[in-house]
Structure 1
Amino acid sequence: MTHFLTAVNAVIPFLIYITFGYGVKASGMMDEAFARRLNKLIFQAFFPIMMFYNLYQTQETPMRMGRLVVVGIAGEVVLIALLLAVVPRLVKENDRRGVLIQAVYRSNFVLFAVPLTESIFGPSGLTVASMMVAIVVPFYGATAVIILEHFRGGSFHFGKLLIKVLTNPMIVGAIVGGIFLLLGIRLPACVEKPVSQFSAATTPLALFILGGTLQFSSLKSNLRFIIPAVFMKLVLIPTVMIAVSIAVGMEPLERFVLLTMFATPTAAASFPMAQNMGGDGKLAGELVVCSTLVSVVTIFLWVFGLKSAGLI
């Protein structure tokens, strides 16, 4: 019963935030244009503060992260290589190939990893998850640009790509937070309190807006792509990575952060990126929607199962 309640407590807040956002939009109080503007505001203004504060407020050096980083990034690289080899053989349209590949490997790690890990492991989990976000987000962004450019027949410039990654608001926040942490710089109490409050508001707002952007148009015609992609994203690949984590002897916190990297839904950012880079935007949006809704169930089952097995 304890493990069941742990799983419920980890997942239900996400469901409430998303459902509330969807309900507000359905009531007519929020339209799509407003939701897009607010979403942009949250990612450019609130997420940097959250990334900064998550690193700034830690009082202890996090556990050694070398193994987690190596296994996580190596797993993503192998997965991308397999998808690049298999997807073009099964899907004929270039505008769908890149969309499907990024939908399977690119997770909504930013929105889900930090609050999920904190809810189960507390402050130590918060710090490790935040540091992994700072590493994984630029990796996701850079590889997605390369893949989508490849399938629309374009090219990319390394210098521009590097600048884009380093100027990502979340990465800037993480870098500044890391500097404050390493140098022991402390904010005045009158500044630290609002920074803390802005940080705490970020995840509920982001999930609220995610719910407000959910759309269910023309799902039927794309189910042949959506069903296998979502199954791989939320069930098959996480199963493989959990097996890998056991084989290399990961600790429970490491294992759970790895799980949030591979078992969370498709990144919401993949939708606008696909739209702006010649991909099938409608399919990209439906993959985000379906994987988000299904993940409420699968994340609950993962947390409950791993807790019951004593693996987290």
Structure 2
Amino acid sequence: MELFFSTLSFTLNVTAPVFILVFLGLLFGKIGLINDEFNRVASRLVFNVTLPTLVFLTLLHTDLTQVFAFDLLAYAALVTLAAFGWLIWHARYIIANEDKGVFVQGSFRGNLGILGLALAANQYGDEGLALTSILLALLIVLYNLLSVVALNLWRDTTDGKGVNWRRIVSDIIKNPLIIAVFIAIPTSLYQVPLPAVVLKVGDYFASMTLPLALLCIGAALDLSALRETSGLALKATAYKLLLLPVPMVFGAWLLGYEGMTLGVLFLVFSCPTAAASYVMARAMGGNAVLAANIVALTTLFGTLTISIGVFALHWFGLS
């Protein structure tokens, strides 16, 4: 019984602060403390400035030789591609073309940039944050490319508007998080000195990132969309939170990964669907209502499934 309560306490310390901030954001949005304009500006600030600063400083202060592993990156990429292939095959049985790509994207594209980093930081500190940041650099590229593929496989192109691959590649290259990672790695490895005042200002920016970002996620949740929740949205939610993360993490365990590495992989793979999937689905002619439902459902149910997963891994001594 003592082990149970100690494990439960550990789990709540990891997941509760993160999801409490998300639901506080939802509450603040409902009562008007956070409006759409504030959310838009704050989200841009987080994405373009504070989050890249957090990632950069975390990698700068971490011994990357201890967390950088090509085999881990290869595993994350391979299982993501395998999951994507399975979802594409499964989507053939969905009747409406506008639903197929949205279902695929919503089932694999996680919110790594905010929730993944926040959960890893809570559980493993700076070392876990560094490992998650490296995985994030790889998966951001992969998620964006695969999302475009999924949304275009069944897209009605009679309007003559093809896929602007040049813009997509440009957006990926100019992504502030990816830039932060690729600048931080050589800076850390070669121990490039930075002025103390720069580091201090950076710390100020970094410290505001996760609380502000989590509040924005909550404020952006549209629970009214849940009134139109479909079986397809529930199925995508099951894939995102259970049916894909469980075999992915189990496969990593079979390969010998354990401790922080296994725990970070679980947090990365089980993150709720990224809100960006709704924006992309709407822009590319997909079912935007379905996309919004998947984002809302995975965020709500993710509080439970991630907590159970963290509890189980800690209970069995795997994380």
The answer to whether the aligner puts 1:263 opposite 2:267 as a matched pair is no
- List per-residue Cα deviations over 1:115-141 (Å, max 9, x = no partner): 222322232212111111111111111
Q: Conserved in 1, the CA contact under 8 Å of 2:222 and 2:296?
A: yes
Alignment-derived partner of residue 166 in structure 1: 173
Which of 287, 290, 296 in structure 2 is aligned with 1:283? 290
Alignment-derived partner of residue 52 in structure 1: 56
The answer to whether the aligner puts 1:146 opposite 2:174 as a matched pair is no
With over 3 angstroms needed to count, the CA separation of the structure-2 counterparts of 1:246 and 1:60, relative to structure 1, is: closer
Which of 72, 80, 85 in structure 1 is aligned with 2:84? 80
- Measure the CA separation in 2 of the matches of 1:210 and 1:300: 18
Q: Conserved in 2, the CA contact under 8 Å of 1:146 and 1:156?
A: no
With over 3 angstroms needed to count, the CA separation of the structure-2 counterparts of 1:240 and 1:204, relative to structure 1, is: same
Alignment-derived partner of residue 9 in structure 2: 5
Equivalent pairs: percent with the same residue?
A: 27
Which of 137, 140, 143 in structure 2 is aligned with 1:137? 140
- Measure the CA separation in 2 of the matches of 1:54 and 1:231: 32
AA partner of residue 142 (structure 2):
F
TM-score normalised to structure 2 length? 0.92
State the Cα distance separating 1:293 from its structure 2 match.
1.0
Q: Conserved in 1, the CA contact under 8 Å of 2:237 and 2:298?
A: yes
AA partner of residue 95 (structure 1):
E
**252-261 or 217-226: bigger deviation:** 217-226
- Measure the CA separation in 1 of the matches of 2:128 and 2:250: 21
The answer to whether the aligner puts 1:107 opposite 2:114 as a matched pair is no
With over 3 angstroms needed to count, the CA separation of the structure-2 counterparts of 1:197 and 1:62, relative to structure 1, is: farther
- List per-residue Cα deviations over 1:39-76 (Å, max 9, x = no partner): 23321222221221121121452235222212111111
State the Cα distance separating 1:85 from its structure 2 match.
1.0
- List per-residue Cα deviations over 1:204-238 (Å, max 9, x = no partner): 11110011011122424332112111112111212
- Measure the CA separation in 1 of the matches of 2:168 and 2:26: 34
- SS of the residue 1:164 aligns to: helix
Alignment-derived partner of residue 63 in structure 1: 67
- List per-residue Cα deviations over 1:70-110 (Å, max 9, x = no partner): 21111110111111111121x22222111110111111111
Unaligned runs of 5+ in 2: none
Q: Conserved in 2, the CA contact under 8 Å of 1:56 and 1:180?
A: yes
TM-score normalised to structure 1 length? 0.94
- Measure the CA separation in 2 of the matches of 1:78 and 1:31: 40
Matches within 5 A, 1:20-59: 20-59=24-63
State the Cα distance separating 1:18 from its structure 2 match.
0.9
**219-228 or 2-11: bigger deviation:** 219-228
- Measure the CA separation in 2 of the matches of 1:176 and 1:227: 40
With over 3 angstroms needed to count, the CA separation of the structure-2 counterparts of 1:64 and 1:33, relative to structure 1, is: closer
Q: Conserved in 1, the CA contact under 8 Å of 2:132 and 2:268?
A: no
Aligned length: 311
Which of 302, 308, 312 in structure 2 is aligned with 1:305? 312
State the Cα distance separating 1:176 from its structure 2 match.
1.7
- Measure the CA separation in 2 of the matches of 1:270 and 1:141: 9
Q: Conserved in 1, the CA contact under 8 Å of 2:68 and 2:134?
A: no
- Measure the CA separation in 2 of the matches of 1:216 and 1:112: 19
- Measure the CA separation in 2 of the matches of 1:34 and 1:52: 25
**274-283 or 97-106: bigger deviation:** 274-283
- Measure the CA separation in 2 of the matches of 1:25 and 1:120: 28
